[in-house]
C-alpha cells in the first residue's frame, strides 16, 4: 500500500513539477548563464566575459540609484499599505459603536466601504497609471486644479517632474491601487475571529487600541506576514515597473529619480540591446527579492496562535 501511495503521489506531481522546472527554474538558470556573457539579445553569437558584467554593475551609478529606489519602495510600500488596510478592515469589522443587537460591530455602511476600497482592484494597473498621470499634470491636472479651487494657487508642484516628489507620487498610486485587496483579505480574517474575544475584552474595559494590538493583530499575524512578502514582491516586480513606465517622464523620472530595478532591466535589454547586462541586473533583483522574503519570514516568526 505504501509503495502504491508514493507511486500515485509521484505520478500526480510529475507533470506540474516538470512544467515548473521548464518554465520557471530553467529561465532562471539561463539568465544566470547569460549574465557571464556579452550577449546582446539580437544575435545568437556571444562570448563568455566572466564577472565583467558584475564588475560593471557595481560601478554603475544608475544601478545604485535604481536599487535605492526599489529598496525605498520595498520598505515603505508594505508598511503604509498594510497599515492602512489593517486600520480600515478593523473599523469595518469591529471598530464601530455598540448597537442594540450587537456588542461588537463595524462602522455604519461597512458593506459600501468594502466595495469602495476594493474598486481599484478591478482596474488594470495601466489604466490606474494613466488616470493618475493626468491627475498629476502640473498645468490642468485634477490635483493642482483642486488646490487652486481652495485658494492655494501658490502651491502648484510639478509632481512627476520634481525629482524630490516623483517617487512618492508613484508610491501613492501603488498604495491606492492595492490597499483594497488587503482590506478585503484582512476583513475575511477578522470575520473568523470569535466575537466572544472582543466582548470579553470590552467587559474588562479594553478600548479599540488595546483590542487591536492584543487580539486582532496577533490572530491575523500569519496573514499580515504573507501580505508583507506579497507587497515586497509587488514593489520589486511588475506593478512598480508598469506604474513608473507609464506615469513618469523618460520614463524613469527626471535624473533617474523614479528608475527602479525592473525598469532598468527592461531599458537595458530592449532599449540599449544589452541583454547580458540586463540579466546581470535581473540576478541582483532576484537576490534582493529572496533576501527580503527571507528577512520578513525570519523576523516575523512567532508562536502560532490557534482559536
pLDDT digits (tens, 9 = 90+) for 104-129: 667 777 778 888 888 888 888 999 99
pLDDT at position 178, please?
A: 92
Nearest in space to 143 (alpha carbons), one of 129, 126, 156, 160? 156
Give the whole-angstrom CA distance, residue 228 versus residue 75.
10
Query: What's the confidence (pLDDT) of residue 148?
Result: 87
**CA-CA distance, 181 to 187, in Å (whole number)?**
10
Residue with cell 529606489: 69
- Does residue 17 lie in a domain region? no
Q: 39 lies in a domain? A: no
- Residue 37 has φ and ψ, to the nearest 5°, of -125, 180
C-alpha–C-alpha distance, residues 281 and 61, integer Å: 13
Q: Is 156 helix (H, G, I), strand (E, B) or coil?
A: coil
15-25 pLDDT per residue, tens: 888 999 999 89
Q: Which residue intervals of the chain are DSSP H helices?
A: 2-20, 26-34, 52-58, 61-93, 110-118, 125-135, 142-149, 166-191, 195-203, 208-211, 217-219, 221-235, 238-247, 261-266, 275-299
pLDDT averaged over 10-residue windows placed end to end, the chain, 307 residues: 68 87 91 92 88 95 94 93 92 70 68 85 90 90 88 84 91 93 89 81 78 86 90 89 90 88 93 93 93 88 64
Domain extent for 194: 59-299
CA atoms of 213 and 208, how far apart (whole Å): 9
Quick check: helix, strand or coil at residue 105? coil
**Residue 106, domain member (yes or no):** yes
> What is the domain-level CATH number for residue 125?
1.10.3720.10
Asked if residues 121 and 180 have their Cβ atoms less than 8 Å apart, the reply is: yes
| Predicted local distance difference test score (pLDDT) of residue 203 | 77
| Alpha-carbon span 66 to 47, nearest angstrom | 27
Q: Residue 49 domain-assigned?
A: no
14 lies in a domain?
Answer: no
Q: What is the pLDDT of residue 103?
A: 58
The Cα–Cα gap between 247 and 142 comes to 15
Q: Is residue 52 situated within a structural domain? A: no
Query: Cα–Cα distances in Å, from 191 out to 29, 81, 89, 188?
Result: 43, 20, 10, 5
On whether residue 139 sits in a domain, the answer given is yes
What whole-number distance in Å separates Cα of residue 200 and Cα of residue 288?
Answer: 44
For residue 188, the model assigns a pLDDT of 86
Tell whether 183 is covered by a domain.
yes
Q: What is the structure's pLDDT at 127?
A: 92
Confirm if 210 and 201 have CB atoms less than 8 A apart.
yes
Q: For residues 237 and 74, is the Cβ–Cβ distance under 8 A? A: no
CA distance 245 to 255: 15
State how many domains the chain has. 1
Burial class (CB in 10 A: 0-12, 13-18, 19+), 62: middle
Backbone φ and ψ of 48, nearest 5°: -75, 135
Question: What pLDDT shows up at residue 11?
Answer: 77
Residue identified by cell 502560532 is 304
Amino acid at each position: 500500500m505504501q509503495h502504491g501511495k508514493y507511486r500515485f503521489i509521484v505520478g500526480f506531481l510529475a507533470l506540474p513539477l516538470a512544467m515548473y522546472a521548464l518554465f520557471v527554474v530553467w529561465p532562471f538558470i539561463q539568465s544566470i548563464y547569460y549574465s557571464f556573457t556579452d550577449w546582446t539579445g539580437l544575435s545568437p553569437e556571444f562570448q563568455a566575459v566572466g564577472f565583467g558584467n558584475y564588475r560593471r554593475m557595481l560601478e554603475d551609478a544608475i544601478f545604485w540609484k535604481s536599487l535605492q529606489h526599489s529598496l525605498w519602495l520595498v520598505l515603505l510600500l508594505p508598511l503604509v499599505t498594510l497599515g492602512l488596510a489593517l486600520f480600515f478592515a478593523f473599523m469595518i469589522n469591529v471598530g464601530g459603536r455598540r448597537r442594540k443587537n450587537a456588542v461588537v460591530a463595524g462602522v455604519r455602511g461597512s458593506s459600501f466601504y468594502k466595495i469602495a476600497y476594493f474598486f481599484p482592484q478591478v482596474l488594470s494597473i495601466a489604466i490606474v497609471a494613466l488616470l493618475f498621470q493626468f491627475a498629476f499634470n502640473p498645468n490642468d491636472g485634477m490635483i493642482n486644479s483642486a488646490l487652486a479651487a481652495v485658494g492655494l494657487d501658490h502651491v502648484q508642484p510639478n509632481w512627476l517632474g520634481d525629482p524630490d516628489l516623483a517617487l512618492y507620487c508613484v508610491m501613492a498610486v501603488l498604495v491606492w491601487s492595492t490597499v483594497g485587496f488587503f482590506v478585503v483579505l484582512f476583513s475575511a480574517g477578522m470575520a473568523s475571529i470569535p466575537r466572544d474575544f472582543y466582548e470579553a475584552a470590552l467587559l474588562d474595559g479594553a478600548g479599540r487600541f488595546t483590542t487591536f494590538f492584543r487580539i486582532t493583530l496577533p490572530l491575523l499575524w500569519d496573514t499580515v506576514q504573507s501580505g508583507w512578502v506579497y507587497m515586497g514582491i509587488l514593489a520589486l516586480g511588475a506593478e512598480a515597473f508598469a506604474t513608473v513606465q507609464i506615469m513618469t517622464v523618460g520614463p524613469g523620472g527626471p535624473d533617474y529619480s523614479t528608475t527602479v530595478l525592473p525598469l532598468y532591466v527592461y531599458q537595458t535589454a530592449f532599449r540599449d540591446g544589452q541583454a547580458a547586462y540586463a540579466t546581470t541586473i535581473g540576478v541582483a533583483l532576484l537576490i534582493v527579492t529572496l533576501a527580503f522574503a527571507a528577512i520578513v519570514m525570519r523576523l516575523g516568526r512567532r508562536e502560532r496562535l490557534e482559536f
